[in-house]
Amino acid sequence: MRTPLLRPVLGYVGVLGAACLLMWVLVQPAGAQTATTRIQEAQTQLGQTNAQRIAQAHSRLDANDLLVAQIWGLSEEEMIRAKVLLKGPRAAFSVENLSPVEALGIHARDDAERQRYAEMFARALQADVERSLAWNRAFQQAQSRLYPNQKVVDFEGLPMVEGPTSAADLLGIPRKLVKDPSRPLAPAKAAPRR
């Protein structure tokens, strides 16, 4: 049975550790302190020790963390916070490659902070789109220069599909491959008169 007094301890050391702690506190000389007071003091000391250990483990940034912080334009403090967030429940709720800026934005402490991270991410995404488009243009120019007569997609031999020609035009599909159901393929010939 868990008593309200022991719940914080159980989170740190588990049931066995809590039982050992309780036994140690209860066998100490009574003196002026009550058993409850001694348990509370032990919990505080144990909690501070574990909290300090957890904080120290997450407050260290390795060379990779520092590089990621620099790439995203984050301070060391922000990167530490992002690292802690990405190790917590956020790891279960998000994709593995969630950026530190996204984690900080999702867990922003106020609207101003959320807005700041949203703008930071929007600028980074815009810069990435511009780089991707520039790369695509350079690739297409190189493809056209190196292989001028090669079609990127060869539509020859493909069966006709039924669909509106307007959709085919938008998608760049040759009209000869599309049978538009709203238009007859050829006008019907009138029967000869006798």
CA distance 146 to 121: 37
CA distance 91 to 58: 15
Cβ contacts of 102 within 8 Å, gap of 6 or more: 94, 117, 121
Cβ contacts of 76 within 8 Å, gap of 6 or more: 61, 66, 69
**24-28, 91-95, 127-131, 173-177: segment of lowest average pLDDT:** 24-28
The CB density around residue 106, as the number of other CB atoms within 10 Å, is 14
Contact 69/79 with Cβ under 8 angstroms? Answer: yes
**Whole-angstrom distance between the N-terminal and C-terminal Cα of the chain?**
105
Q: What is the pLDDT of residue 100?
A: 97
Instruction: Dump pLDDT digits (tens) for 88-133.
Output: 888 889 998 999 999 999 999 999 999 999 999 999 999 999 999 9
- The more confidently predicted of residues 8 and 115 is 115
